[in-house]
Amino acid sequence: MPRVANIESVLYRIPLPVTLSDSTHGEITAFELITCRIRDVDGAEGVGYTYTVGRNGGAVADILRRELPPLIEGREADDTEAIWHHVWWALHYGGRGGPVVLALSALDIALWDLKARRANLPLYRLLGGFDARVPCYAGGIDLDLSVEELLAQTDGNLAKGFRAIKMKVGRPDLKADVAKVSAMRQHLGDGFPLMADANMKWTVEEAIRAARAFVPFDLTWLEEPIIPDDVAGHARIMQEGCVPIAAGENLRSLWEFKNYITSGAVSYPEPDVTNCGGVSAFMKIARLAEAFNLPVTSHGAHDITVHLLAACPNRSYLEAHGFGLDKYIEHPLVLQDGKALAPDRPGHGISFDWAGLAKLAA
């Protein structure tokens, strides 16, 4: 078995072509990309990454550059489970979340990419394989758009081949949210999959009131109605709001998802492979959801996550995220009949334009 020779990490600041906004993070003009490249003693390479919405990427990159090399160099590269636990517990006292788990996620993705490349298999097949065609939705970051702008953005996404759409809610005036959800439902027609994301904006009572107001518009789910720390609050919204709830992009471990699922606090568990602990953790979360007969969805990093959901019999929708890397990778995500196609290239199949990215190094 090959041993890890070295690890390399770089922080990039990627400007967005259009300023985005939601109810919690405010205006987002750029996102931070933190890459992790692992090479084994045979010269084979695996690539992982994580990201932020514009702040704290330096802390993640510092952990990858300073803390992780002495923990993993010289270890068997194929032992993803052993390496994951070694890093988790070595950094546990100052970790359990935040920059540490983002760094671990990038590392774990790189190790799985390396393992799949060495096996000459696409990642989804190495993970078991289920169906390479994954239902996919466009995740709009569009809180401040007018109704006309919102519908124009939606038409653009429909033209790209999306057959499910997510919009932002969480404005100070619930009537404004209801008006825009109503306009979207009328524009898309009955039965078209429509999701709404509040980005943790409300109190429990506000979320219940909003959920009830959205009932006539047949949402596939209402996402992150309140802060992720309030498990009991999510359970109340599930019971009293009469709308399915998606949550999990701000959860950082398998055990946090366990608390949500066993408390009846989520309809659609929603891990993000770049911040939940990587491929290893994402797949455990998906299997946990399967054991409770729950469909799993995803947040962010769609170019990697398409492989993970392609290996899950209980997958629902892949999110095509607003922070796309299309300009900086050789093969952007491919859609066909509203479904994303997991590529058959070895590993996760992402080939970065390293020269182009170098100009954006922070």
Whether residue 299 lies in the annotated active site: yes
Q: What is the pLDDT of residue 140?
A: 82
- pLDDT per position as a tens digit, 26-41: 778 889 999 999 999 9
Q: pTM score > 0.85 for this model?
A: yes
Catalytic: which of 201, 299, 307, 339? 299
Q: Report the alpha-carbon distance of residue 72 to residue 109 in Å, rounded.
A: 14
Per-residue pLDDT at 324 exceeds 80: no
Confidence of residue 259 (pLDDT cuts 50, 70, 90): very high
Region 192-210: mean pLDDT is 98
SS3 359: coil
Q: Select the more confidently predicted residue: 94 or 292.
A: 292
Region 98-105: mean pLDDT is 97
What are the structural domains of the chain? 3-120+353-359 (3.30.390.10), 125-341 (3.20.20.120)
Per-residue pLDDT at 76 exceeds 90: yes
Q: What Rg do the C-alpha atoms of the chain give, in angstroms?
A: 20
Tokens 């892949």 belong to: 318
Catalytic: which of 168, 180, 234, 307? 168
Q: Which helix (H) or strand (E) holds 165?
A: strand 165-168
Whether residue 175 lies in the annotated active site: no
Confidence of residue 1 (pLDDT cuts 50, 70, 90): confident
Contact predicate 156/189, CB 8 Å = no
Q: What is the percentage of the chain residues whose pLDDT exceeds 70?
A: 99
Q: What is the pLDDT of residue 163?
A: 97
- pLDDT per position as a tens digit, 347-358: 999 999 999 999
- pLDDT per position as a tens digit, 161-181: 999 999 999 999 999 999 999
Cα–Cα distances in angstroms (integers) from residue 342 to residues 94, 132, 178, 238, 346, in the given order:
36, 5, 36, 32, 11
Q: What is the pLDDT of residue 332?
A: 95
Per-residue pLDDT at 258 exceeds 90: yes
Region 114-129: mean pLDDT is 98
Confidence of residue 14 (pLDDT cuts 50, 70, 90): very high
Region 97-113: mean pLDDT is 97
Q: What is the pLDDT of residue 143?
A: 87
Q: What is the percentage of the chain residues whose pLDDT exceeds 90?
A: 91
Confidence of residue 122 (pLDDT cuts 50, 70, 90): very high
Half-sphere exposure of 76 (CA within 13 A, CB side): 6
Counts for the chain of helices (H) and strands (E), in that order:
13, 12
